[in-house]
Amino acid sequence: MRTPVFAANWKMHKSGLDAVAWVREFEALTKDLGAEAVDVIVAPPFTAIAAAVEASHGSGIAIAGQNLHFERQGAFTGEVSAEMLKAAGAEFVIIGHSERRQLFGETDDSVQRKVTAAHAAGLIPIVCVGETLDERERGDTLTVLDRQVRAGLDGCTGDRIAALILAYEPVWAIGTGKNATAAEAGEAHTHLRRRLREWFGGVHADRCRIVYGGSVKPDNIQQLIGLEDVDGGLVGGASLNADSFVSIVQKATAQQAR
Ligand code: 13P
């Protein structure tokens, strides 16, 4: 059994003070719930990581970076290394988000180097893959996913595949309010699991958590989490408010308990 995991990607939103307030609200909303079998990760902007780490002690929330540079240190103005994230208290890091790929020139090759750097520093990568609308309409979705996974995870051992999180985020569903249907998400997730099995072995592939991202909301999570190969969500807009993020997590765990 894979433990479901929900990650809040705050993108370029929230200060350290906002992060503390969000964590407090999350704790208040979940305090009567008993220990749910679900992992929760929050990815604040770099400047709010230390405050989020401090505030989330004892809350069950783990903190992630949203990006990193693959070099350990050096003359790379504006960049942050895996070691720096780790030292700030992050345990996870998002790599290859489509906004990084589309707006900041991230490539499959840089994703692979970042995954290697994250592992070397003891961070667990959350590796994002997903097709654009054009690619989907051309019928290239599965080919694009194959390329992104094969290149991005090249060199990973089976144990590392088992521990990392793979996020299927169709680009056309991000921030658009238009989530993938159960059929679309199901096809992509099942395909990704099949490829992980082929390339890294069944035991490791079956432990890897594959989460869906793209307009996840309280009112659509249940149709997605009910799918066999969907192990959670990577939530953007609906995670900015602790209330709606908690509602997503609660609806998902209620659905899984059925
Ligand atoms: P939205 O939930 O705002 O569509 O963003 C998804 C996303 O990019 C998470 O990484």
List the domains of the chain with CATH numbers: 5-257 (3.20.20.70)
Expressed in angstroms and rounded, the spacing between residue 169 Cα and the centre of ligand 1 is 8
Pick from 65, 47, 28, 63: nearest CA to 246: 28
| Predicted local distance difference test score (pLDDT) of residue 255 | 79
Asked if pLDDT for residue 8 goes beyond 70, the answer is yes
Minimum CA distance residue for ligand 1 atom 9? 236
- Annotated active-site residue in 36, 69, 97, 119: 97
How far apart CA 216 and CA 48 sit, in angstroms, is: 23
97 is catalytic: yes
Q: Residues near ligand 1 with C-beta < 6 Å?
A: 9, 97, 169, 174-175, 213-216, 234-238
Average pLDDT for residues 225-248, to the nearest whole number?
97
Average per-residue pLDDT in the chain?
Answer: 96
Average pLDDT for residues 110-114, to the nearest whole number?
98
How far apart CA 179 and CA 83 sit, in angstroms, is: 35
Cβ neighbour number for residue 250 with a 10 Å cutoff: 17
Confidence of residue 36 (pLDDT cuts 50, 70, 90): low
Cβ neighbour number for residue 54 with a 10 Å cutoff: 14
How is residue 165 written in tokens?
Answer: 């999180």
Ligand 1 pocket, mutate which of 11, 92, 179 (most atoms under 8 A from CB): 11
How is residue 51 written in tokens?
Answer: 């405050």
pLDDT digits (tens, 9 = 90+) for 51-66: 999 999 999 999 999 9
Q: Report which secondary-structure segment, H or E, holds 53.
A: helix 46-56
Confidence of residue 257 (pLDDT cuts 50, 70, 90): confident
Expressed in angstroms and rounded, the spacing between residue 234 Cα and the centre of ligand 1 is 7
Ligand 1 pocket, mutate which of 98, 178, 215 (most atoms under 8 A from CB): 215
Average pLDDT for residues 68-83, to the nearest whole number?
98
The model carries a pTM of 0.97
How far apart CA 98 and CA 133 sit, in angstroms, is: 12
Asked if pLDDT for residue 144 goes beyond 90, the answer is yes
**Sign of the four-CA dihedral 39, 40, 46, 49:** negative
How far apart CA 164 and CA 159 sit, in angstroms, is: 9
79 is catalytic: no
Average pLDDT for residues 99-123, to the nearest whole number?
98
Expressed in angstroms and rounded, the spacing between residue 213 Cα and the centre of ligand 1 is 6
Ligand 1 pocket, mutate which of 5, 10, 169 (most atoms under 8 A from CB): 169
% of residues, the chain, pLDDT over 90: 94
How far apart CA 253 and CA 232 sit, in angstroms, is: 10
3-state secondary structure 192-248: HHHHHHHHHCHHHHHHCEEEEECCCCCCCHHHHHCCCCCCEEEECHHHCCHHHHHHH
pLDDT digits (tens, 9 = 90+) for 157-216: 999 999 999 999 999 999 999 999 999 999 999 999 999 999 999 999 999 999 999 999
